[in-house]
Every structure is written in structure tokens, then in C-alpha cells.
A and B are shown apart, each in its own frame.
Chain A
């Protein structure tokens, strides 16, 4: 399932004459189809953010992912999550996102900056975060999986 139109058509969601009844198997199919759609949307996020040279999109993805497991997220956590070797490589991305109110940064010390998604000003980020946390495999996780696979003899 990779089309919203097909999804609506399959379950007659746009037909108000019929009642939507989901029983056992139908409910499982409905849930699987919805999951497949969200997974595809997540993949589109992932690919779109790697097409552009500025890493702003990738930073948003990693923040959304890390917010599911970490209470406090630093710029280094984001850097590690994206497999990036130097913080300077994210300077422009952080500056851009902060300037456009997409993220919030609290400077605890000169080197320790807490970062998080600005969901108050961007309500769409709630759904974005939920999709990313559920479906996205971060570059760090991909790297770990590959290392594990390479070591298996």
C-alpha cells in the first residue's frame, strides 16, 4: 500500500452511505495498510532530507528520533545519530533551524547546548515525531546493524 487514494478506495472511506466496520481480519489489514502508508511517508522524509546539501532536515529527523528515548538531547547526540564526525558540519543546519523557529536551543554551558523540536510553534511536528520514532532507522542504527552483520561469520 503506497497510495492514499487506494487506501480510501479500499475501505470506502469517502462513501458516507456505508458504515465502516472493521472486524478481526479487516482490522488487521486496515492497521497494516495504514502502517505501510506511514512507513512510506517516513521513507520519503528520509530521502528528501538526504537530497539537499543543508542537513536541516536530517537534524529534525534525528531530534524527532532521539526525543523518544532521551530526556536531554545535546548537539553531540544529534551528530552521533547522523554519523557525522565534526560539529562544524551541523553549524549551518542548527543556525537555519533556530532562525526559522523549527528548534529550540538552551545553552547550558559554552559547549553543552540542549536541543529539541519546537512543537509549540509547529504542531505538525507531533505527527512527524511519531512517524519518525516508529519507522525511521537512523544512520547510527544503520551503521550498527551493518557492523553487526559484517562480524557474523
Chain B
């Protein structure tokens, strides 16, 4: 049975935020469990790989390289997983709110540009490393190369699987080519905030145009100012965009979600109209 969010009832407010928090935590532990299993497999494999005949210096260097890389791997994965959170109840709530407005929320598995870049660079990197390694007799270099290769393989398996299965991306398609993408966040530690503000919904438009486009920049600025849209989105989304393109960003809590969603959609509509008019004049 699905729990329905009713944020308007004072009696049930805390209950629903507790449900969402519990779901976030459950999901987080599931992800940690999967990563720990993978790390366990990797560690066991490493233990069986230790050669019988080796000097103390070789053994120590091997261990330092192994533990450094495994800790780095753990840190990256745990940070990544801790940051991405998911609650089915919150998603159902958003689906219902959007349905009232006549929109449909689509789940889309997207690996994203960062993943392709990561894979391309790492493949090139390992080809170069392997060519170089065939001429090297240094034990540490060989050990480092093997470890990196194994970590790369583990990352290649875990990142897309965890992202694909556990972190659906949510997209609302508007008039082609426009869409709005959601990013959900729940603060698990309550500080001075009220509970409704602990759940945050970040909305981003698709790429509008390059920042170097002067007329586009001016129109974007005017619309953003008029509609009080935040200049910057959640920072995780801009890491691989390098700030070269213009987007609309909006932020809301579940209570004022509909108003803010309509605000970003209206901003996109105004952008579309303004850009078309500008092209006609040109």
C-alpha cells in the first residue's frame, strides 16, 4: 500500500516527513550494502593476488598502493551515494501534483556526459599506461597500473548500475526541445529549519543557449529577474557544464512546488517566444 503525502494536514506533517526520511535512509543503506559487497569481493581478490615470493619493500609498496586506492574508491562512492537520495513517496507526490497541472513525469536513465568522458579518458589512459608498462620493470608502477585497472573495472560496473537502478532521473517534457529536470534532496539532520524545508526540489531547464550569445544572455537575464529565478542551480549539476551555457533554475519545497514549477515552465515559454521574435527581427 502506498502512502500518500498530505502536507496540508498539521497532524500528519511530521509523519510524512518521517516516511520520506526513512525511505531515504533505507535506500542509502541498500546502496552502501551493495558497495561494501563489491569492496569485499575486490579485497578478497587482492588477497589471493599477493605473490608468495616477494621482498618486504615490494610487499609494503604493494600494500600502500592497494589501501590508498581502495580508500579513494570508497570515499568517492560513499560521497556520491550519500548525495543522491531517493524516496518513492516523494516521487508519487510529485507525479500527482504534476498530473493536476497536466504534465507527466518521466523516469529516464541517463548516464550523462560525465560518465562518457570518464570512460573515454580512462580507456585512453589505460592504453597509454599499458604500452608504457611493457617497457617498465618497476614493481610499484606495475602494481599501481593493475590496481587502477581493477578499480576502473569496478567503477564502470557499479556507477551505471547504481545510478540506473536506484537513481532515476525525472524529466518533464514540454514543447520540443524543452524539458525540466528534477533533482531531489532531503536533509537528514535537522538543524534550525522547519521540516518542510528539509525536502528540497531543484528544477533545471534544458540547455538554452551559449553564454557568449549576447541577445540570448540578455533575454535570459530579463526573464530570470522578472520571475525571481535563482542564478545558479544545485552545484552538482554544473560540475560538467563548465558554466558555458544558460539554463533556468528553480527551487521549491513540496508545499509550494506547483507554483514554482509553473514559474520555471512559464520562464521557458517566455524564452521560446522571445527567441522566436528575436530571430524574426534578425
Contacts and interface: CB of A to CB of B under 8 A. Distances in A.
A5 interface: no
B102 A142 contact: no
B262 A143 contact: yes
B8 interface: yes
A143 B8 contact: no
B226 A43 contact: yes
A-B complex: 6 closest residue pairs judged by Cβ atoms: A50-B259, A89-B8, A149-B269, A85-B100, A53-B255, A150-B175
Q: Is the interface of B mostly helix, strand, loop or mixed?
A: helix
Contacts of B174: 146, 150
A45 to B, nearest CB: 12
Interface in B265-282: 265-266, 269, 272-273
B262 A146 contact: yes
B269 A145 contact: yes
Contacts of A83: 100-101, 258, 262
Interface string A39-52: 00001000100110
A50 B266 contact: no
Contacts of A142: 262-263, 266
Contacts, number: 48
B260 interface: yes
Interface in B82-138: 100-102
A146 B269 contact: yes
B256 interface: yes
A84 B258 CA distance: 9
Given A43-B226, A139-B262, 4 more contacts: A84-B258, A88-B8, A147-B102, A149-B175
Nearest to A40: B226
Interface string B1-36: 000000011000000000000000000000000000
Interface string B158-198: 00000000000000001100000000000000000000100
Interface of A: 43, 47, 50-51, 53, 58, 83-86, 88-89, 91-92, 139, 142-143, 145-147, 149-150, 152
8 contacts: A51-B256, A53-B255, A83-B258, A86-B8, A139-B258, A146-B266, A149-B175, A149-B269
B240 to A, nearest CB: 29
B228 interface: yes
Given A53-B255, A53-B256, A149-B269, A47 B102 contact: no
Interface centre among B9, B100, B259, B273 (most CB of A within 10 A): B259
Contacts of A146: 174, 262, 265-266, 269
Interface of B: 8-9, 100-102, 174-175, 196, 226, 228, 253, 255-256, 258-260, 262-263, 265-266, 269, 272-273
Contact of B228 (A47, A149, A152): A47
A21 B226 CA distance: 32
A56 to B, nearest CB: 13
B189 to A, nearest CB: 21
Contact of B256 (A50, A92, A150): A50
Contacts of B255: 53
Contacts of B102: 143, 147
Contacts of B228: 43, 47
Contacts of B269: 145-146, 149
Nearest to B196: A53
Contacts of B273: 149
A21 to B, nearest CB: 32
A84 B265 CA distance: 17
Contacts of B9: 88
B221 to A, nearest CB: 14
